[in-house]
Structure 1
Amino acid sequence: MTDSLPDLSVGIAWCLAWGEEIKPQFNREILQQMRKAMLENQQIPEEVQSIVEGVRELEDLKFPDTLAELKKLTEDYSSLWNSKIGLIYGGATKIKQYVFEASKLPDVRGGSALLDRINLVDLPAFFGKHHKDQKSVSISQWLSEHFPGLEAALIRELIIYSTGGNILAFCPAAFVDHLCDAIEKRYTWETLTANSCAVGDCFKFLELRLGVLPDTIDENCFWLEKYRQNRNHHLLEAYYRQPDVSDPKEEFKNRKSFNELVTKLAIKFNQRRSGNHTENRPSRRYPPMFETHPYLVRDESGRRSAIAKIDEIASQPLVSEALVRKKIVGQIAKDETLKDDLPPWFTELELGWQPTGIKIKSWVAEFKDYLEKEENSQQKDKYYSECRDPKCYQPKEAGTVRELGNVCNGFIAYIYADGNNMGGYIQKEVKTPQDYQKFSQDILKATEKAVYYALSEHLRPHQLKNLTDPDIENKNGDWIHPFEIITIGGDDVFLIVPANKALEVAKTLGEEFEKELLKASGYNSDQTYSSKKVHRCHGDNLPTGNNQCELSMSTGVLITAEKTPIYYAEKLTNQLLKSAKERAKVLRKQGYYGGTIDFLTMKSVTMIASSIKEFREQGLTKEVGTQKLRLYAAAYTLHEIGGLLKAVQALQDANFPRSQLYQIRSLLERGKRTAILNYRYFSSRLTQGKDALKQDFEEVWCSAKTNDGIIAPWMYEDGKRDPEKPENPYYETIWRDLVDLFYFSEKTNTDSSKPSEQTTEANQ
């Protein structure tokens, strides 16, 4: 959704030529001539030639190894030392609170689309980077009314990145506070209730290469020599030390770069977001809030006073103004024809606020554009392979969660994925503004392609059937895209997909993300690992442990009923993501840099009363005699997820009676021997598929550690996976997950209604 940006050196030269005052030190025509000349490699105006030369010298500046060299640099490049440039960082905060406060999918889609539009369209428009489909000058008018003079000082080459819900950009030093205030105000102006935060600071131009420096360079200045002498001090260790780096000079150089400036802004961002005072700016201590009287009617979210009841919408919702904005933006994102012809229910409200004339495009529309590209024709054919009728080549976006649930018997899955080790990679590898720009573009490109590929690989358009709810029963027979992309923000992804394809989509998403980054330069890792120590699923297709991508994704997947409230599902999915990330951190100590997935199947909303972690520790961890049993094995590596899906297929091929699956599951907590004996009893009675079950479940998952035996359905763990936090040995099992996934398989188990076999107990 973003175009490649020109060289940032143009923006840096612009700020240097503008100066540190509101009024530029050169005529603005000269500044524009300089900008054009740099972009088109033409003759630089004589007045600003020295400035452009200084910027180019900054790019090739050698890092000073001693304090004397540093001091000499400040003297040799006095213009770069005495001039300042503004750097701002900002964006939306508490995004999930704003997006998921609504209970219905169209409102969630609208909230997400509105934030995306502000971040990807409005804020770049501050800098003159107008969207290709923009047909109005509303942003310019808004800036001229509220922040006169700001737009004239900004150009598109100042933007470092504007993705993932945040913006990082340069600006002339005098406009730092104005630009930060404009960013915060734009979010509130458009959404009314979304929280946002923006901070900035002025830095010396030399600091763009050497990190934060004191105002005076003298013998008291802390530099590489003093770091070498005090390297083991606990404060310096916390600030400078990095994993896999042992050279003090490299540690110091990795920190003393442009990255240190961004870190300073990130700290200021957290302080302002928490309500702390910011000098020379209005307080953010009291974020937007619309209180309601206890006797007034509230909107359907129950948070704000209702202003109207919309009879034209089937559910006749009560809406507040904040909710109205979500609904109209959600409708425009879903049906792009509405942008020029707003529905009567909206125009009759006469709010005094209008959606901008910018084409608000949903992520599903972006997915369709992806399929139309020539290089993706194979994915397009695969995606539409079950939709042969030409009239069906135009499936619509799902209007409600119930329509998505129609794909898989009323069950859906929430997928929340987020990048691993992003901060560590930035600290070690991203050292200049140009690096930040490239990194941001590479991550967004890889994430978008991975999402679109995973969806087209495993999902197919679905024809709605058997809908009985009054507001959607007229849609029976319609074709829909069987997914919803809530957001793609940098390395952050939130999807809703059919329950029976959730793990396939999540697995492919993680794999393709790494493959796309490996195609770009600079993301390969020379780190190797022992596959048999990292992956619990062994077999012929065990990864080699070589050629890893340094960055990966962890994913939380919640499989649940369509009636589960979206805000509650998001909360649980976030917990699963954190669990997957914890597993990734543990495995990283063993050299594994790949992705991880944690998932949970929840058929009842009241299944979990507290957190997932407590549920597993208290409900799924047992002490039977001297044995510690974990009735779960999550989280999994991507390879293990593949093995898990193969094991489910083996159970299907074996036509394993569902009643017997449930019996073995209920016997797990009675002890290791009881479960083993009953599994062997039931599996021995199978009339087909025994070899596949042995090959894809017993041998690859449940091999004994000390002999050639099989301890299915258990796996032994020695408790030393995390060397920093060793545990006592325990047994764990994937059986519960197999049973849950078996329920959502496409193949119906014809033996599931057979009477239960007699349970066989082992002698204790």
Structure 2
Amino acid sequence: MDKTNSITIAITWCLAWGDKREPQYSLEVLRQMCEALNDGKEVPEEVQALVKQAQELQHLEFPDTLEKLKQLPEKYPLLWNSKIGLVYGGATKIKQYVFEESKLPDIRGASGLLDKINLVELPAFFNVIPESPHYNYNIECREIKRWVNENFDKKPNLSDALIPELIIYSTGGNILAFCPADFGDDLANAIEKRYTQRTLTANSCAVGETFRILETSLGLLRDNIEKTFWLEKYQQEYQNSIVEAYFGKIDDISKIEETFIKHKSFNELTTKLAIRFNQRRSGNYSENRPTRRYPPMFETHPYLRRDEGEKRSAIAHIHQLIGKPHLSESVIYKRRIGDRAKTGISETPKWYQDTGLEWEPGIIESWLDKFEYFLHNNSEQRQKYYGSQNAQTKEIKIAQSLTHLGKVSNNYVAYIYADGNNMGGFIQNIRTPQEYQEFSQDVENATKYAVYQALAYNLHPREIKGISEAESKVKDGDLIHPFEIITIGGDDIFLIVPADKALQIAKMIGEQFENILLEKVKISGVKIKGKYKVDNNLLVANKHHRFAETISEEAQCKLSMSTGVLITAYNTPIYYAEDLTNQLMKSAKKYAKSLKENGYYGGTIDFFTMKSVTMISSNIEEFRKQALTIDNRGAKLKLYSAPYTIPELDKFLKSIYALQKAEFPKSQLYQIRGFLERGKRTASLNYYYFRHRLKKGQDALKADFEDKWCPAKTNKGNIAPWMYDLKEETYETIWREIVDLFDLIRFSDTESPQTSHQEIAR
């Protein structure tokens, strides 16, 4: 026998276990069966019939008539009569939990704790032991298994019913997994309880449902299969408003059958679970399960001391930490995780021993650990990041606060928030659990390695100066890693990076995400299994981008990234910065949707430079409408051009580089920016006047700014510093954004190496 894929093993396991609490066969037989399937060997005789039907399910031909559908229960009685559990769950209101505190160690700890639960502890329920080059998780996973069995002590144990192959995915803060039919509620309860037990205050939700095993391939079916709404009925009633609401509106009659087949699949089961998930999260009643209507609450009292966030009663006054903070129990957990993330496995610190708490975080493998392992396996990226031999041998510390990150970047930092585009539309076309699993793995790999490459090629350890805190463990002259990975989960990314490299990092993340999925960048040991190339749709530059330069046509990726970048002073309140960055990401996503209607599937980036905390009183969109959009003698002028496509951002950065090389006088840069508000002609006249007075760099400025961005649409002239949008009948300019970034953006003397066809190790 050939080695069997994990989904077939999962279905075979649930078939063999049966619908009851007690398994139909002994655990020894079940484990022998799984081992044989994994090794491609002969399975025990008593389960061979089950294995055969499970394997046939993977190759089941879709019945295109109700008559063919009616024959399936007789042809596959085991698949029709047997049930399987499907559980979906994870953390909710994640940002509320992560950014509840204002200190970087607490944010790092909150994110690390959620990652630990999702990536290590929930898979440990299924007897998964993570592979790590740094740590041995065997003891910890045994402890998690013991916790599961003690808290859900029915016989047989919950952990005995779960195997690694049951997990479809466990990334991005969520888990989707099969289980034997009678264990769905226990598993969902265990997921919710683990989040609460480990975090105290993080919200979580999990739901489970049982389905016929045949439904994992054909979608939801009626108990009386003859009454199932099937293709013939759909062809007759596809215009019915209720049917349209469920299946979607059909504009092309030739796609009726395709639409139906896509919908009647495993995707229909996950949709039902998602609805159940939203109902339970909203506090609705769930039969046979504890209610979620009363989430964890910690009462405060007017005469008790509250923690730093003024949310809960403090239980400890920590004299050993900077600022001698008063901390509540939930914040102590975050701070303890944040401390452990900096040092890996370490002794319990004195400040934590003094609290008297017995809660321990266990192994915390930080994102920095994973990034350094990536560098260890990739000598080119390692050399690019560390540079000189001194940086490779000298101790490199981790920033303890935003102050440290700001001190290595001219007192400015940048927040980068990226989220995947077209994910929902792509998932709707996924028909099988196997495709779900492969999609999740592909996106996780593309996201993770895109971030690692962008950081390696654009940053290097930096020497910190100007630190005045006597209690700080980071001193003047120390080298620090100049970034913070808050989270990389599924298709979500949240980073804090130096302001001078923020746009280059954001651009490269978007580029490499698509390149990895299209297999232009190879990752050693990782196989991209899905097909992400847009068929018969080459990217044509002039159709989608605003610059005039023609670029070569290339294949597009069905998935991409929308990114928001906020560049601001390091002392900007982090909850405020996170909110604005989220607004920018949504603005970029909105722009990406509008471009997709014209055939552009690529990534988009919106950015904003905020040099004063009081600069924006409401939101960025409102600020741009009121302060940066003017009506000048009937001509609508936009004093900004964001969002940008990724190729546009590349040309934008080259324009800044041209200005820097031309040594364009700063006073004149600001003068031209001031003239923008006086109208199109006044700004143009002053721009050309100043440009002709430059002693050097005129040709580069003309080539990389005027000719690229500012040619007139109706004649051969230039209208610098403006460009005209024929569709919106609006003049817009990149000049203001160039001026805002002129002193902040830095370019290296040598360009980053080409990475489009190189082999990247895991």
Band the TM-score falls in, shorter-chain normalisation: over 0.9
Q: Distance in 2 between matches of 1:155 and 1:33?
A: 13
Offset of 1:7 from its aligned partner?
Answer: 1.5
1:116 alignment partner in structure 2: 115
Contact 2:412 2:499 in 1 (8 A): yes
2:674 alignment partner in structure 1: 666
2:432 alignment partner in structure 1: 432
What SS class does the counterpart of residue 177 from structure 2 fall into? strand
Contact 1:460 1:481 in 2 (8 A): yes
1:536 alignment partner in structure 2: 546
Q: Distance in 1 between matches of 2:249 and 2:507?
A: 30
491-500 or 293-302: which moved more?
Answer: 293-302
Give the count of matched residue pairs: 726
Q: Deviations over 1:202-237 (max 9, x none)?
A: 00000010011111112x421111111222334433
2:83 alignment partner in structure 1: 84
Contact 1:88 1:169 in 2 (8 A): yes
1:344 pairs, out of 346, 350, 361, with 350
1:57 alignment partner in structure 2: 56
Kindly report which structure 2 residues correspond to 1:126-145, keeping only aligned pairs within 5 A, or say none: 126-132=125-131, 133-134=136-137, 135-136=139-140, 137-145=142-150
1:96 alignment partner in structure 2: 95
Counterpart of 1:661, as a letter, is L
Offset of 1:38 from its aligned partner?
Answer: 1.4
674-683 or 103-112: which moved more?
Answer: 674-683
Q: Structure 1 residues 347, 284: closer, same or farther in 2, change over 3 A? A: same
167-176 or 28-37: which moved more?
Answer: 28-37
Offset of 1:395 from its aligned partner?
Answer: 1.4
Kindly report which structure 2 residues correspond to 1:543-554, keeping only aligned pairs within 5 A, or say none: 543-544=552-553, 546-554=554-562
Q: Distance in 2 between matches of 1:173 and 1:618?
A: 58
1:146 alignment partner in structure 2: 151
Offset of 1:567 from its aligned partner?
Answer: 1.0
Q: Structure 1 residues 60, 337: closer, same or farther in 2, change over 3 A? A: closer
1:284 alignment partner in structure 2: 292
User: 5+ residue gaps in structure 2?
Assistant: 520-527, 749-762
Offset of 1:390 from its aligned partner?
Answer: 5.0
1:380 alignment partner in structure 2: 382
Offset of 1:731 from its aligned partner?
Answer: 1.0
Q: Distance in 2 between matches of 1:86 and 1:167?
A: 14
1:237 aligns with 2:238: no
Counterpart of 2:369, as a letter, is A
Q: Structure 1 residues 686, 266: closer, same or farther in 2, change over 3 A? A: same
Offset of 1:474 from its aligned partner?
Answer: 5.6
Counterpart of 1:379, as a letter, is Q
Contact 1:242 1:251 in 2 (8 A): no
1:419 alignment partner in structure 2: 420
1:222 pairs, out of 229, 241, 247, with 229
Counterpart of 1:26, as a letter, is Y
Q: Distance in 2 between matches of 1:336 and 1:171?
A: 33
Q: Deviations over 1:570-602 (max 9, x none)?
A: 111000000000000000011111000000000
Q: Distance in 1 between matches of 2:245 and 2:511?
A: 33
Counterpart of 2:340, as a letter, is I
2:502 alignment partner in structure 1: 502
Q: Distance in 1 between matches of 2:659 and 2:358?
A: 60
Q: Distance in 1 between matches of 2:647 and 2:453?
A: 18
Q: Distance in 1 between matches of 2:249 and 2:696?
A: 55
Counterpart of 1:275, as a letter, is G
1:752 alignment partner in structure 2: none
2:741 alignment partner in structure 1: 741
Q: Structure 1 residues 390, 499: closer, same or farther in 2, change over 3 A? A: closer
Offset of 1:538 from its aligned partner?
Answer: 2.5
1:297 aligns with 2:305: yes
Contact 2:548 2:711 in 1 (8 A): no
Q: Distance in 2 between matches of 1:490 and 1:18?
A: 31
Counterpart of 2:143, as a letter, is S
What SS class does the counterpart of residue 357 from structure 2 fall into? coil
Aligned sequence identity (%) = 57
Q: Distance in 2 between matches of 1:288 and 1:661?
A: 55
2:460 alignment partner in structure 1: 460
Q: Distance in 2 between matches of 1:160 and 1:569?
A: 35
Counterpart of 1:90, as a letter, is G
Q: Distance in 1 between matches of 2:615 and 2:473?
A: 30
Contact 1:555 1:577 in 2 (8 A): yes
Q: Distance in 2 between matches of 1:556 and 1:72?
A: 53
627-636 or 593-602: which moved more?
Answer: 627-636
Q: Distance in 2 between matches of 1:195 and 1:5?
A: 37
Offset of 1:62 from its aligned partner?
Answer: 0.4
2:524 alignment partner in structure 1: none
1:522 aligns with 2:527: no
Q: Distance in 1 between matches of 2:336 and 2:667?
A: 48
Q: Distance in 1 between matches of 2:221 and 2:678?
A: 64
Q: Structure 1 residues 438, 5: closer, same or farther in 2, change over 3 A? A: farther
Offset of 1:462 from its aligned partner?
Answer: 0.3
Q: Distance in 2 between matches of 1:492 and 1:622?
A: 35
2:642 alignment partner in structure 1: 634
Offset of 1:741 from its aligned partner?
Answer: 1.0
Q: Deviations over 1:335-389 (max 9, x none)?
A: 1142xx1111112222232223xx211101110000000xx21111111114535
Counterpart of 2:399, as a letter, is A
Normalising by structure 2, report the TM-score: 0.93
Kindly report which structure 2 residues correspond to 1:246-265, keeping only aligned pairs within 5 A, or say none: 246-265=254-273
Q: Distance in 1 between matches of 2:491 and 2:228?
A: 38
Offset of 1:16 from its aligned partner?
Answer: 1.0
523-532 or 416-425: which moved more?
Answer: 523-532
Q: Structure 1 residues 387, 241: closer, same or farther in 2, change over 3 A? A: farther
Q: Distance in 1 between matches of 2:375 and 2:671?
A: 45
1:275 aligns with 2:283: yes
Counterpart of 2:63, as a letter, is P
739-748 or 442-451: which moved more?
Answer: 739-748
Contact 1:633 1:732 in 2 (8 A): yes
Offset of 1:243 from its aligned partner?
Answer: 9.5
1:593 alignment partner in structure 2: 601
Q: Distance in 2 between matches of 1:401 and 1:235?
A: 53
1:691 alignment partner in structure 2: 699
2:406 alignment partner in structure 1: 405
Q: Distance in 2 between matches of 1:577 and 1:5?
A: 41
Q: Distance in 2 between matches of 1:241 and 1:477?
A: 61
Counterpart of 1:580, as a letter, is A
Contact 2:239 2:249 in 1 (8 A): no
682-691 or 81-90: which moved more?
Answer: 682-691
1:361 pairs, out of 362, 365, 381, with 365
Q: Over the residues paired in the alignment, what is the CA RMSD in angstroms?
A: 1.8
1:106 alignment partner in structure 2: 105
Contact 1:164 1:489 in 2 (8 A): yes
Contact 2:101 2:309 in 1 (8 A): yes
Contact 1:386 1:460 in 2 (8 A): no
Q: Structure 1 residues 411, 28: closer, same or farther in 2, change over 3 A? A: same
Q: Distance in 1 between matches of 2:379 and 2:210?
A: 49
Q: Structure 1 residues 243, 365: closer, same or farther in 2, change over 3 A? A: farther
Q: Structure 1 residues 234, 736: closer, same or farther in 2, change over 3 A? A: farther
Kindly report which structure 2 residues correspond to 1:474-485, keeping only aligned pairs within 5 A, or say none: 475-485=475-485
Q: Distance in 1 between matches of 2:497 and 2:335?
A: 22
Q: Structure 1 residues 389, 269: closer, same or farther in 2, change over 3 A? A: closer
Q: Deviations over 1:270-290 (max 9, x none)?
A: 111112221221111222222
Normalising by structure 1, report the TM-score: 0.93
Q: Structure 1 residues 242, 469: closer, same or farther in 2, change over 3 A? A: farther
1:211 aligns with 2:213: no
